[in-house]
């Protein structure tokens, strides 16, 4: 869905839009064999397993459950929590500058992110641009995650923003599709240059 004609608020996703995150940054150091590392991240500490933390499960519970099923890999599993900060990559090029310009212009910025409640504060500590948000709906804190339409409804109500007043930016098409179905303006993120053009066209930059 194209950007609405008169959005007032920019709603950011975080991972893949503002900052890079990938468990491979850590596990390449721990599992030198690439194929074995990929198997571990597919069959043990999988995306589906991590998504449960994004929906509110604690890492203590998650690790104990998984380590009970894979006892020989307990230390590797524990590293997912104990060394989580090593999964954070660099800022996505050019996006922090756009956020600074929006902030300077007084344009409200908020976020909707699929993120563990326990690790989000680490991301904010490491990437201070996240402090520019007036508010952030973190899936692990509210027990809802994208692309469930309910997280968008909840967020808009919490932000005090009508669907047509929001421009939602995400790098996941399932998420922008879900937001668009609710009448929210969307931008499928690919890079900062394209985002800048969308924001200019919407009169936000």
**Confidence check: pLDDT of 3 > 60:** no
Are the C-beta atoms of 12 and 171 separated by less than 8 Å? no
Total length of the chain: 205
**Confidence check: pLDDT of 170 > 60:** yes
Q: What is the pLDDT of residues 56-93, one digit of tens each?
A: 999 999 999 999 999 999 999 999 999 999 999 999 99
Work out the mean pLDDT of the chain and round it to a whole number.
96
**Confidence check: pLDDT of 148 > 90:** yes
Residue 195's nearest CA partner among 129, 62, 118, 102 is 102
- Give the per-residue pLDDT at 6: 84
Are the C-beta atoms of 98 and 129 separated by less than 8 Å? no
Its pTM stands at 0.92
CA angle 140, 22, 196 (to 5 degrees): 85
């Amino acid at each position: 869905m194209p950007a609405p004609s008169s959005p007032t608020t920019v709603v950011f996703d975080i991972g893949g839009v503002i900052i890079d995150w990938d468990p491979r940054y850590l596990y390449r150091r721990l599992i030198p064999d690439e194929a074995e590392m990929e198997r571990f991240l597919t069959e043990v500490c999988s995306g589906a397993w991590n998504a449960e933390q994004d929906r509110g499960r604690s890492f203590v519970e998650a690790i104990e459950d998984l380590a009970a099923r894979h006892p020989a890999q307990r230390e590797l599993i524990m590293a997912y929590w104990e060394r989580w900060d090593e999964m954070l990559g660099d800022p996505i090029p050019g996006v922090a500058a756009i956020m600074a310009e929006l902030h300077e212009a007084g344009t409200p910025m908020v976020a909707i992110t699929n993120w563990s409640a326990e690790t989000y504060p680490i991301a904010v500590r490491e990437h201070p641009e996240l402090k520019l948000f007036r508010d952030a709906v973190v899936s692990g804190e509210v027990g809802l995650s994208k692309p469930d339409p309910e997280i968008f409804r909840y967020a808009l109500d919490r932000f005090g923003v009508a669907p047509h007043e929001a421009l939602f930016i995400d790098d996941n098409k399932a998420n922008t599709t879900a937001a668009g179905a609710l009448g929210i303006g969307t931008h499928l993120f690919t890079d900062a240059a394209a985002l800048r053009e969308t924001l200019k066209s919407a009169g936000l930059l």
